[in-house]
Amino acid sequence: MDRRRFITTLLATCLLPSTRALAGNPLIPFTLSKDEESASFVIELEGSNEHNVFTLDHPPRVVIDLPQVTRVAPSSALHQHAGIVEDVRTGQRAGGIRIVLDLKTLKQPKTHIRQLGANRSQLIVSINDPDPLMAAVTAEAQSRNQPRKAIIEIDAGHGGKDPGCVSADDHYEKYVTMGVADYLKGRLDTDPRFEPSLTRDSDIFIPLHQRVLMARNHHADLFISIHADAAPTTKAAGASVYILSEHGASSATARWLAESQNSSDRYASTRDSEIYSDDPDVQSVLIDLSMRGTDVASQKLARTTLNHLGSVTALHNDRVNKAAFAVLKSPDIPSMLVETGFMSNRQDCRRLLRSAHQQELAEALHQSVADFFEANPIPG
């Protein structure tokens, strides 16, 4: 995905020199490519390539100790879903850094050192791969050539005890949002490019932060929250699209940083390895990078969505709006909130209640998602 390239570029160029992460030793990037059967871990080392690689069981894992390295970070977002490696953790030890690859089942790794220059080498740790060197060389190309389905988390706003906005003639937003969400899921289900998932498929109440966690647990590539508006004036009409505001993003960064540093917290337990490190500086860089990449992707998604919505409904605002909505606060999942129209406007409300219009809205959202991934394909 675009986000991944963005993060990689930032890591490689502008961001690191400007952050406090550089106050100490350099941040060494590593890559991990994997599929169901095998995995390949590659890190480039300057100077000493001293390493100790061994396995431990309960849970099954490969441990890579690098005594001469003090800071590491994935060079791009690691995709957890599918694959022999279920999680990646890094930690500082008295003697350097420890990287732990949690495996589905215990496999013996092979290590290989590839000399890149007088003072530079590559450490390749391959799991279950017959040819570790080839695996490392072709890993990046392979991951680009194997598109997987994009996972779309569809969030029908409100539900249960929370009706959302209520129209003058007592119609509830929560039923409109469920209707559009259902139609969108139905459409994405039949599109081989996508794997949709709903935060709720019935009239139940789900707290906002739990909706964000559900998207994370489903390893969503996109998060779309569907709502309908209300305004004090009954004249306000049309659809709008929101993404997370800068203020919302910075407060979310602070919160994630605080919470992810508590190893027993609920976020860490959702296996955020791509944005997790127990080095606080590295952690803050990773979250920051992730937020910035996500913001760019969310902007693109929201822009495309406004264009498509504009052909099935009036737009309340033809610009992408920014707000600190709680459901948009995933640091690494491009997210948007779509206000499909106004419950407080008679005409809008009447249309929103009609299933034909809900289907039109779902079609516009489907096209938006398809356009987004056409322009920003996800890596394998």
For Zn ion, the binding residues (CB under 5 A) are 157, 164, 227
> Which residue's CB is nearer to Zn ion, number 26 or number 207?
207
34 CB burial (10 A radius; 0-12, 13-18, 19+): buried
> Which residue's CB is nearer to Zn ion, number 136 or number 237?
237
> Which residue's CB is nearer to Zn ion, number 164 or number 179?
164
Closest approach of Zn ion to the CB of residue 158, in Å: 6
Alpha-carbon span 326 to 157, nearest angstrom: 12
Closest approach of Zn ion to the CB of residue 90, in Å: 39
Three-class SS string for the chain? CHHHHHHHHHHHCCHHHHCHHHHCCCCEEEEEEECCCCEEEEEEEECCCCCEEEEECCCCEEEEEECCCCCEEECCCCCCCCCCEEEEEEEEECCEEEEEEEECCCCCEEEEEEECCCCEEEEEEEECCCCHHHHHHHHHHHHHHCCCCEEEEEEECCECCECCCECCCCCEHHHHHHHHHHHHHHHHHCCCCEEEEECCCCCCCCCHHHHHHHHHHCCCCEEEEEEEECCCCCCCCCEEEEEECHHHHHHHHHHHHHHHCCCCCCCHHHCCHHHCCCCHHHHHHHHHHHHHHHHHHHHHHHHHHHHHHCCCCCECCCCCEEECCHHHCCCCCCEEEEEEEECCCHHHHHHHHCHHHHHHHHHHHHHHHHHHHHHCCCCC
> Which residue's CB is nearer to Zn ion, number 6 or number 342?
342
> Which residue's CB is nearer to Zn ion, number 74 or number 157?
157
Closest approach of Zn ion to the CB of residue 177, in Å: 7
Closest residue to Zn ion in the complex (CB): 227
Among 116, 115, 198, CA closest to 156? 198
Closest approach of Zn ion to the CB of residue 167, in Å: 13
Contact indicator for 100, 50 with CB cutoff of 8 Å: no
> Which residue's CB is nearer to Zn ion, number 102 or number 162?
162
Closest approach of Zn ion to the CB of residue 173, in Å: 5
> Which residue's CB is nearer to Zn ion, number 282 or number 337?
337
Q: CB under 8 Å to 56, separation ≥6 — which residues?
A: 63
Closest approach of Zn ion to the CB of residue 277, in Å: 36
Distances (CA, A) of 192 to 92, 147, 220, 252, 333: 42, 11, 16, 33, 21
> Which residue's CB is nearer to Zn ion, number 157 or number 179?
157
Closest approach of Zn ion to the CB of residue 248, in Å: 16
> Which residue's CB is nearer to Zn ion, number 151 or number 198?
198
Closest approach of Zn ion to the CB of residue 239, in Å: 13
> Which residue's CB is nearer to Zn ion, number 1 or number 176?
176
Closest approach of Zn ion to the CB of residue 367, in Å: 23
Closest approach of Zn ion to the CB of residue 227, in Å: 3
